A = this chain, B = another copy of it.
Amino acid sequence: MARWEPGARERLVVAAVELFTEQGYDATTVAQIAERAGVTRSTFFRYFPDKRELLVAGQDTLSRLLTEGIADAPVGASPLEAVAAGLERASSAMGAMNRELGPRLKAAVAASAELQERDALKSVGLAAAMTTALVARGVPDPTAQLAGELGVLAFKRGYAQWSESDADEALAPYAVAALNELRKATAALG
């Protein structure tokens, strides 16, 4: 059972992921999603421009939180320490709903070329947001771009591990642990 109290926006996301899983992304209409969520079509369009954007909802919020976390990191923080601060800030926006829906969302994306493309663009956008925030801190290119890419990779890996874990934990420690693991792996690149 979900322990969060879903509003219309959350209900729409849950309904969409359920329908995508049951009958596929292509076969699912906005009308079906709205009906399942118990809202009108016009309520749907108040929250999302279309069914595809629904699945990447929150990208703007994530980008903003990553950027703010990186900007607010202590002056002496290394690029990856700043990225870790961004991941911690962004993780704070990911609650029980994200954790519960994660694996189903992943399955829906894996089954749809259209969603894969949108999801790939989301990753590019998050990396660019982190790179820009690092450059604003004075981190030179290509270190900033590299750190931004590591940040996205860490967020994805941490999210996957968090989604698959049994415990009732926060995302942040998973994302930061994934970043540390990637940092250590750089020593093995040769």
Of chain B, the residue at the smallest CB distance from A82 is B190
| In the bound complex, CA of A181 to CA of B141 (Å) | 10
In-complex Cβ contact of A120 among B79, B117, B143 (8 A)? B117
The A interface, classified by DSSP as helix, strand, loop or mixed, is helix
State the Cβ distance, A129 to closest chain B Cβ, in Å: 14
Stoichiometry (number of copies): 2
A residues with CB within 8 A of B: 77-81, 116-118, 120-121, 123-124, 140, 142-143, 145-147, 149-150, 153, 157, 178, 181-183, 185-186, 188-190
State the Cβ distance, A71 to closest chain B Cβ, in Å: 17
| In the bound complex, CA of A142 to CA of B117 (Å) | 23
Chain B residues with CB under 8 A of A185: 142-143, 146
Can you list 26 residue pairs at the A/B interface with Cβ under 8 Å?
A: A77-B190, A78-B190, A79-B188, A79-B189, A80-B189, A80-B190, A81-B190, A117-B117, A117-B118, A117-B121, A120-B124, A121-B121, A123-B124, A140-B188, A142-B153, A142-B178, A142-B185, A143-B189, A145-B153, A146-B150, A146-B182, A146-B185, A147-B189, A149-B149, A183-B189, A186-B189
Of chain B, the residue at the smallest CB distance from A120 is B120
